[in-house]
Amino acid sequence: QQQQQRHDEDEDEDEQGSEGFEEGSELPSLQGLTELIRWKEGGRERIVQTALHVKPGAKMTRVTNAEDIRTRTAQYIDVQIAAPPRDGEANEEVVSFLSSLFDVKRSCVKIVMGHRSREKICEIEIPPDLTETPNDAQETYLDLLSSHILRRLELFD
C-alpha cells in the first residue's frame, strides 16, 4: 500500500512512456523475481525490463527489500542509491547498480521511464549470442540469470 502511494505521488513527475512493461502482459518472468524482471520482445534485440523504487542520497547503494523479492511479495526492487538526486547523479548510480547486478556493461542498461521519479523502469540488453538461440535455451538462460541475480542481491542487501 505504501509503495502504491509512493507510486501515485511520483507518477506525474515523468511523462515518458514505457513500452512492453504493462501489468498483465504475457512476457515470461524470471523464477524468483516474478513481476519484477521480464523479457521484452523487440526486433532482433533481447531486452529484460525491471521496475525499481529508488531512494537517492543514501550512504551506500543497496537493495532494501531482498527478502520480499525472494518471497515474491515485492512490487519493485527497492534500492537505496549512494548519490544525490541532482544533475543525473542518482540515475547514473542506478545504471551502475544494474550493470553490476546483471553483470553487463553500463552501455547495456538504460532508464526508459522515471528519469525524474523514484519509480523507474529500466531495460537491460541481453548479450547478442542469446538472440539466435532456441526458446528452450533462452528458458535455461532465464533460470541461470534468475539464480545469478538472487545471489547478487545478497551483496547489495
- Which domains are assigned to the chain? 2-13+33-156 (3.30.1200.10)
C-alpha distances in Å from residue 137, one per residue of 10, 49, 132, 146: 39, 19, 10, 14
Helix (H, G, I), strand (E, B) or coil at 59: coil
State pLDDT tens for residues 104-129. Answer: 899 999 999 999 999 999 999 877 65
Instruction: Please state the pTM of the whole predicted model.
Output: 0.67
